[in-house]
Amino acid sequence: MNHGPLIFLGVFFALALSWFGLVFESQLQLGNAQPTTNLVNAAQLYPQMRPGQARQGLDVYRSLGCAACHSQQIGQTGRTYDVALTDAGTNRSAVVDTLLKVKPEATAIEAQRLLEKPSATILKDVTRAAADAAVAKFEPTGAKVEVRVIPTGPDIARGWGKRRSVAEDFLFDQPVMLGSQRIGPDLADVGSRPALTAEWHLLHLYNPQIVVSKSVMPPYRFLFEKRKIGREPSPDALKLAGKFAPEQGCEIVPTDEARQLVAYLLSLRADTAIFETPMTVARANVSTNAPAATNAPAAQTTNSVAK
Amino acid sequence: MKLDPNKSPAPQEPEPTTGSAPAPVWLFVLVALLAFWGMGFLDSHGGGFDARVYAPYNSAKEVEDEWPKSGAGAAFARGELVYREVARCILCHQPTGLGSPGQQYPPLAKSEWVLAREPGRVIRIVLNGLQGPITVTGQQFNSNGMVPWRDTLTDQQIADVLTYIRSEWGNNAPEVKPEQVKAIRDKTAGRPGQWLADELLKVLETE
């Protein structure tokens, strides 16, 4: 056997090719990525760096191995379009006529009612061509009609996110906690779910079954401190009842790690519309950049999907 | 009979060697077909190797088509970004557009300078800055100097930010086009220093 050099060259080129394709090319394309200004309807750069406590929370997330069961990447398989009437204008009879043409199944009374709404969805789940055709029909009437882009896919249908994850979402994360297993739900956009407050997350970490009775997630009680109630109970103590409550005279208080982890979870948001992920968002509130003097969570209204 | 260890053993059959046989033709055909299919797949799913294209989109143009391209709405959103993040007008003129009268920063909301039908004067202010006494909404200000933006902002950015301040906070003046900014930029090229309000008042209102 005297094929040493040939085998070496074969292995070398195979590795070099995959290194160029997977590492070098990606580095060329995304290595110098900066926060983008190509936002639509949001007056700030994206992404913003996570606040300090949330950055510490990333280390807690990493050390606890959360990424072994939770991914942070939302997939998207397609998109669909809605057509919405935002301003009926003055020529109402013409608008009603056009509306009946575009939406033949509607009655005249229904059409009248749609006109009264400040922002009425006329067509749902149509193709781009159909949406554009409808908009063109409304043009001569002077009414303002817009096409709304709505991302679709199994992850989005589950309510895990509003659009797919893209490279920008992870720009300030070191390391990136992409994850590959989905034993638990995807967390890429968990911070934008209004029902999941800081209090909810703390209870969930202490014992997941308090809030999700069938949860298979292990409890992280070591992130909490059990201590005797002093002169009066701590305002931070978890509000536990029934079989989860500690014995009389004791209270459960979250440690710094628990707070950091919750701050990190609340900072996980992938709901900003950027160039790569077209979707129609509600117009941002004027005062979204209020100075962060308070500890109140950021306004929830910034980028909710207009649907 | 005893074997003599020093004596070489009886000659053996030679070791087998590798020969060569022609590879079957079907293997080459298969590899070629796979390569063809792979290239085709890459071409249709690669998004043109553009970092901004992700599934389910196939090209940058397809992504771009999903966004509202022009119109006052898009200019307004871009202008808000310039106001808040790029030029940081917000630091002096405030999120409310009311300025900081205590520090002699005049308001933009309801300001007759901003709301003038033709934007000639306000474009000049953004290009070269302004200093000295100025009356805005009936109030006297002694501006300690607005910074010139001629070299920092593009025509498009100035047009966007003006469109923004002319339609935010209840203001309602027509959009500013980049061409209008360019015309005045060329006209006032080489002008040193900031404007004085009196100088600007000499500029025709119809410009």
Name all domains of chain B by residue range, CATH numbers in brackets.
29-65 (no CATH), 71-202 (1.10.760.10)
Q: Nearest to residue B80, comparing CAs of A4, A40, A90?
A: A40
Cis previous bond, B22, omega within 30: no
Q: How much is the pLDDT for B68?
A: 66
- Model pLDDT for residues A259-270, shown as the tens digit of each residue: 999 999 999 998
A166 → closest Cβ in B54, B77, B90? B54
- Model pLDDT for residues A37-60, shown as the tens digit of each residue: 655 555 567 888 899 999 999 999
How far is Cα A174 from Cα A168, in angstroms, rounded to an integer? 13
Q: What is the ipTM of this complex?
A: 0.72
Q: What angle (nearest 5°) sits at the alpha carbon of residue B105, between those of residues B100 and B109? A: 75
Which of residues A157 and B81 earns the better pLDDT score? A157
End-to-end CA distance of chain B: 126
**pLDDT(B206) > 90:** no
A39/B81 Cβ within 8 A: yes
Query: Average pLDDT, stretch A107-125?
Result: 83
Cis previous bond, A235, omega within 30: no
Q: Nearest to residue A218, comparing CAs of A63, A69, A61?
A: A69
What residue spans in chain A does CATH classification 1.10.760.10 cover?
55-73+159-267
Mutate to test the interface with A, among B80, B86, B91, B93 (most CBs of A within 10 A): B80
Lowest pLDDT segment from A151-155, A246-250, A299-303, B110-114:
A299-303
Contacts of B39 in chain A (CB under 8 A): none
B80 → closest Cβ in A43, A77, A278? A43
Q: How much is the pLDDT for A39?
A: 58
What residue spans in chain A does CATH classification 3.30.1390.10 cover?
78-152
Query: Average pLDDT, stretch B100-129?
Result: 85
**Whole-number average pLDDT of chain A:** 84
Architecture of domain A78-152: 2-Layer Sandwich (3.30)
How far is Cα B155 from Cα B160, in angstroms, rounded to an integer? 8
Q: How confident is the model at residue B98 (pLDDT cuts 50, 70, 90)?
A: confident
Lowest pLDDT segment from A226-240, B42-56, B59-73:
B59-73
Phi, psi (5° rounding) for residue B146? -90, 140
* Report for A104-113, A147-156, A291-300, B102-111: range of highest mean pLDDT: A147-156
Could you please state the CATH topology (level 3) that the domain comprising A55-73+159-267 is classified under. Answer: Cytochrome Bc1 Complex; Chain D, domain 2 (1.10.760)
Query: Average pLDDT, stretch A187-203?
Result: 93
A20 touches B: beta carbon within 8 Å: no
Q: How much is the pLDDT for B4?
A: 67
Q: Please answer whether residues A85 and A137 qualify as being in contact, where contact means their C-beta atoms are separated by less than 8 angstroms.
A: no
End-to-end CA distance of chain A: 69
- Model pLDDT for residues A252-295, shown as the tens digit of each residue: 999 999 999 999 999 999 888 888 888 876 544 333 333 333 33
B55/A37 Cβ within 8 A: no
Q: Please answer whether residues B162 and B126 qualify as being in contact, where contact means their C-beta atoms are separated by less than 8 angstroms.
A: yes
Q: How much is the pLDDT for B178?
A: 86
Q: How far, in Å, are A269, A274, B132, B135, B204 from residue B201 at the CA level? A: 49, 42, 13, 11, 7
